[in-house]
Structure 1
Amino acid sequence: MKLACLALTMVLAGCSSPQQQWNQPPMAVPFQPTIQQQIQLARIDQLLKRNDLDNATLAQVFYERGLLRDSLGLRDLARLDFNQSLSLKPDQPDVFNILGVYFIQSAHFDAAYEAFDSTLELDVTHPFAQRNRGIALYYGGRYQLAYEDLNAHYQQGINDPYRAIWLYLVELEREPEKAQQKLRNWYDASDKQEWGWQIVRLYLNDVSERDFLNSIALESEDNDMLAERLTEAYFYLGKRYHHNKDFPAALMLYKLTLAGNVYEYVEHRFALLELNRLMTEVNNQPQPAAVTDSNEEA
């Protein structure tokens, strides 16, 4: 791994910013299905052939297969499993929650709100539903409601950098002139222990992009950690360039977010949604007026 980190560091030396077109961005080996995952999937398929399982057990088995398929990037098949599980046992907050995430990915925001509302009705203490509903509201352009959810979620764990990051992204839309100072306050109030606070430091311009990516390459203990951290790094870098209307850089960064196949990370989940939003913005940009030839006859 030391050699891999050294190689990545050498690559970074020649690629300091998206303005240089990210000719050789740092990369990890993409996640691949493990033998354990494939064996587990085969065992679940065999279990579902039995005819002596009650509905509650079947619902749990479909849910577990859905989670496994989701971790392998088989999201359409996973969604079928989750829906099947819910039809057998309708009172599953975790199933409503993950279906809500799928609705965000497909930009069906009203359905996402309903799914997260159902999650919270079944389990008001669910650890992710309020955050996910806030993210859905953010993507749906309902920034005040998104702020209410994400601020409440942040207050429940001020040492979690990702709670601060998503709240900051909402504030960039709601009160952009105050967002940077608020992020600084949240950073100062935290214990700064989790790695994700390095992303916050990047947003605060306390660390350069080059040093930020260098630290990922040097400090990642194995390929899995490298892939996971690069997935996060590229997504949030992409969000910053996207906000600044640097569409080519954002486009490349969102693609790099997808490159590691870290399917279970929210950053990977929403990168395709961001790409679609970006392309819509580009297509809606005013087109330059056609230049007429001054020598052309009237």
Structure 2
Amino acid sequence: MMQCYRTLLMLTLLLLTAACTSINSHQYGNGQMGNLVLVEPLPANMRSQMALARYNQILGQVELNDSQRADLLYQRGTLYDSVGLSGLAQFDFSMALKLKPDMAEAYNYLGIQHTQNREFIRAYESFDATLEIDPDHDYAYLNRGIALYYGGRPELAIDDLHQYHKKDEQDPYRVLWTFIAESEVDYEQARRNLADSRAQLPQENWATQLVDLYLGNISERKLLSGLLVGVENQRELANRLCEAYFYLGKYHVARGETAVASNYFKLSLSTNVFEFVEHRYARLELELIREDVLAGPRR
């Protein structure tokens, strides 16, 4: 009887193991995403909440001139943006610009939010205004390049992203966004440019591994296994995972593996690092994937 029980138990365990392997293979494609690192989503920042309360009090009770009110509205808008309240942030930026029309940074923030909402013409106008006021505004070139990329104008996006990349050729993120846009125009040339840019990147920057992944120099599993190296706290981990999972999502979109890509974009969103470019556009990527599933590939 005992021998029969042991045999039955072994068969049950074997069946369960096979079932789990089958599920993982079906969902994640032969072990993809098999050694994920997860982070507790960042909580709402208490300091930001207290600062918002103070701004609300000052704006509601203190007599201010137009310039002072505009500056406070802008600062409150950046705090709203950092905790994910983009609608309130957009309202504050718009109000600040009515009072002080030469605030380049407020135009830049508005452009980002228009891009997230796929209001591309308004986004281009906002970034154009930013650069007209401040021609050396680095991030306006990045953000306008991203808007042009998502707006279906990759040729124009490349010009802006090249401009952004030239300001710091040792930044892996600048290299990646340039490649993402270039690959929409000429994939083989984009890979050659990516390989050339890789030579300028510092090995000690963890994000250089993302470029190596895109070049095929390292495996996805190796990249995932190294995500904890050098991380000292939960904030650093959340920041890193927000970035890593977004670019892994883009990597799988390019390979046509939209189910895996969707999971990575959702993981990027789950970090709650609202102010990062990668978090901002992970949701847009998910929208595009859903549209592609319904209408067929369009990118």
Normalising by structure 2, we get a TM-score of: 0.87
Kindly provide the CA deviation profile for residues 2-48 of structure 1, in whole angstroms up to 9, marking residues without a partner as x. xxxxxxxxxxxxx8994146477321111111221221111111111
Deviations 1:33-90 (A, max 9, x none): 1221221111111111224211100001111111111111111111111111111111
1:167 matched to 2:178? The reply is: yes
Aligned CA RMSD, in angstroms, stands at: 1.8
Alignment correspondent of 1:50: 61
Residue 106 (structure 1) aligned with residue 117 (structure 2): yes
Pairing 1:275–2:286 present: yes
How far apart, CA to CA, are the structure 2 residues paired with 1:35 and 1:176?
45
Does residue 166 of structure 2 align to residue 158 of structure 1?
no
The answer for the alignment partner of 1:219 in structure 2 is: 230
Question: Does structure 2 conserve the Cα–Cα contact (< 8 Å) formed by 1:147 and 1:170?
Answer: yes
1:161-213 alpha-carbon deviations (Å, 9 max, x no partner): 11110010011111112222211110113344433212111211222212212
Q: Is the 8 A contact 1:112 1:136 kept in 2?
A: yes
Aligned 8 A contact 1:105 1:273 in 2? yes
Confirm whether residue 190 of structure 1 aligns to residue 180 of structure 2: no
1:198-237 per-position Cα deviation (integer Å, ceiling 9, x unaligned): 2111211222212212211233111111111111111001
The farther-off stretch of 190-199 and 249-258 is 190-199
Corresponding residue for residue 80 of structure 1 = 91
Partner of 2:13: none
Identity between Structure 1 and Structure 2 (%): 40
Amino acid at match of 2:57: Q
Aligned to 1:8: none
1:260 corresponds to: 271
Q: Which runs of 5+ in 1 are unaligned?
A: 1-14, 287-298
Structure number with bigger Rg: 2
Residue pairs, 1:1-298, within 5 angstroms: 18-19=28-29, 20=31, 22=33, 25-285=36-296
Kindly indicate whether the alpha-carbon contact (under 8 Å) linking 1:41 and 1:68 is maintained by their aligned counterparts in 2. Answer: yes
CA contact (8 A) 1:159 1:192 kept: no
Q: Which moved more, 1:160-169 or 1:27-36?
A: 27-36
Aligned length: 272
Partners of 1:219 and 1:94 in 2: CA distance: 32
Change (3 A) 1:196 1:177: same
Q: Conserved in 2, the CA contact under 8 Å of 1:69 and 1:77? A: yes
d(CA) in 2 for partners of 1:120, 1:277: 28
Segments of 5+ residues of structure 2 without an aligned counterpart are 1-23
Is 2:37–2:227's contact at 8 Å kept on the other side of the alignment?
Answer: no
Instruction: Output the CA distance in 2 between the equivalents of 1:207 and 1:227.
Output: 23
TM-score by length of 1: 0.87
Asked if structure 2 preserves the Cα contact closer than 8 Å seen for 1:235 and 1:267, the reply is yes
Work out the CA distance in 2 between the residues paired with 1:253 and 1:34.
24
Output the CA distance in 1 between the equivalents of 2:208 and 2:152.
26
Higher relative contact order, structure no. (Cα contacts within 8 Å, ≥ 6 residues apart): 1
